[in-house]
Structure 1
């Protein structure tokens, strides 16, 4: 009883957070799962006259022509963005880990790409990639790299590449800052000992830097996957899922079903599928992280 009295203030301190999580996170998730098993459309939304349809919404999603395209595009987009963001973020982190004048200023300027609202960034890149007056086409044709302007966002073969390029530009500073913080926290005496023992730069990187950075990289990759997998705003602003579903991804597919076709049951099923995929990836991450700790 005495221990309960001592811990009661701690629970009261946590109460607002618990209420917030239940009301604004857990309840919407469970309600979405319930909706995914119902025939809920704009016609019966107000009356509440819904019926339980079991797995019919999921079957409808899996049988849709857009689903395999959206699933493939989502994984291609996510994997490409994560690889490029981590790679270039790591290179920039190595660069900014060195001492040189105005290092902090340039590091802050790089953060502007990540801090800028996505609506502004999406419209900026839509202008840069425009086929008629885009700066990128102007530079490429001026350097004679291409003969004619490319309709980056208007043709099926380049639209997804343009979206990936935009998101990579946004995400590089985030990865750079996290990796840079991890690099600056590495013990310097280990590197000094390795240099005394005659280790070259590649051996130091492979045997010291990468093993020490592995836990941080795991976290960065997992956060990046979750953030990138649920992409929606850039797609909506730049291409609207087109052309010909070239940039159709699962979150945008769910948005179309729920808020354009007003088929909330199917939209809920797609959202639940996304949740299951991300939870599976999170469980894989937790398993690998625990395995790494016990190794």
Structure 2
């Protein structure tokens, strides 16, 4: 009986959703706000222009290391990817090498070094051996040799480390990671060769302070956070998602219809202002709009829609 009831719920929901999507000109396989990745991250980045300019200054001048610390869903991934793509593929990519270190939950000092070398082996201007010795000190010597090559070519290497909080759960693992970060961050005779670009939640930042104060002191930009979305950013995000769902090009002024101003205000109020929370609230509003349309044939989503159908 339970299986039949849920199957019926699936069928009913699909029917209601298709009717509403057709009314809005939305493709059935492109229901908006259902994917974690934004159809275009421009709005998530533009709201952080000040931080972007600050990070650019620190990297350009090799002023020191940077940590972006914020709650989950705050937009760290979009910000990180923008910087990565610009440094790796942009018109000034020849000035930089970039290494992304991910999945750090069980990383060791030696493994950090080998991942760094693996990342840099893609660059043909660096001589890196195919195989690494077992002792950690000998692997670090290879890293030092690579640093000397980078310094001779006047190339800065940006090391992005993602989701530091994963490693912070285990003190021993985190100590090894932080030791490796400080070790490579100190390389360079006149200026840093490796610039650390760290990402994590407040838990990771607190643990860095506890376990490695010397690394903390080397962060020229420590615990930078991302700006929250307000009405304008939410309105634009809705427009971009609707354009995506209709397979249309987004341009400034693209209508956020059927989302009314009162609905957008309510979405902002119900969220914590992070891109993820805003997207989730927009999805719930779309779901409410579909139920409302099925109930009373009203297309527009306003604050009363959210109050009655969510």
TM bin, normalised by shorter chain, reads under 0.3
Greater helix share, structure number: 1
Greater strand share, structure number: 2
TM-score, structure 2 normalization:
0.24
Choose between structure 1 and 2 for higher RCO, CA contacts under 8 A separated by at least 6 residues: 1
